[in-house]
Amino acid sequence: MLLITELLRWWYGDGWRLRASLVANRLDGTIDYFSVDLLLKTLFSPYRQISAGRVDGPLGVQMRAMVDKLFSRIIGAIIRLIILLIGAVAIGLQVAIGLIILVAWGILPLLPIIGLVLTLIGWTP
């Protein structure tokens, strides 16, 4: 009897905290993988444009450089928004799966008892 109580004490104590910690670490890894904070900070930064500095020269050259920079910023924003949306979906799935894991962790030790009760009352699937 002592073995069962110690198992249940660990299961609903340290075991559940460890499982929650693993779920949280996986979620942190997903958030870090998609670099959500960095993508939000640089949302309208030029996309892969090496020289985004000031351009000197005639008005036509300056206008061309301005259009190039604007186009690069629009492309960058679109790509970063797509990555943010994919990241949001991945993070949402991680949260949902993590909650399912934590709920299942709490219910799992009760399943043999539930199965025994269902057997005793004559329930068959």
Q: Which residue has the tokens 């299942």?
A: 104
The helix/strand/coil state of 21 is helix
Q: Can you tell me the distance from the alpha carbon of 111 to that of 118, in angstroms, rounded to the nearest whole number? A: 10
pLDDT in tens, the chain (125 residues): 789 899 889 999 999 999 999 999 999 999 999 988 888 888 888 777 656 667 777 888 888 888 888 888 888 889 999 999 999 999 999 999 999 999 999 999 899 999 999 999 988 77
The CA-atom distances, in angstroms, between 81 and each of 25, 35, 119, 121 are: 25, 12, 53, 55
H/E stretch holding 51 reads none
Domain boundaries, the chain: 2-48+57-120
**Greatest CA span in the chain, whole angstroms?**
91
Q: Which residue has the tokens 């910690």?
A: 21
Q: Is 15 exposed, middle or buried (0-12, 13-18, 19+ CB in 10 A)?
A: middle
pTM of the predicted protein model: 0.76
Q: Can you tell me the distance from the alpha carbon of 28 to that of 66, in angstroms, rounded to the nearest whole number? A: 39
pLDDT at site 68:
83
The H-assigned helical ranges of the chain are: 2-10, 16-34, 36-41, 59-107, 111-120
pLDDT at site 51:
60
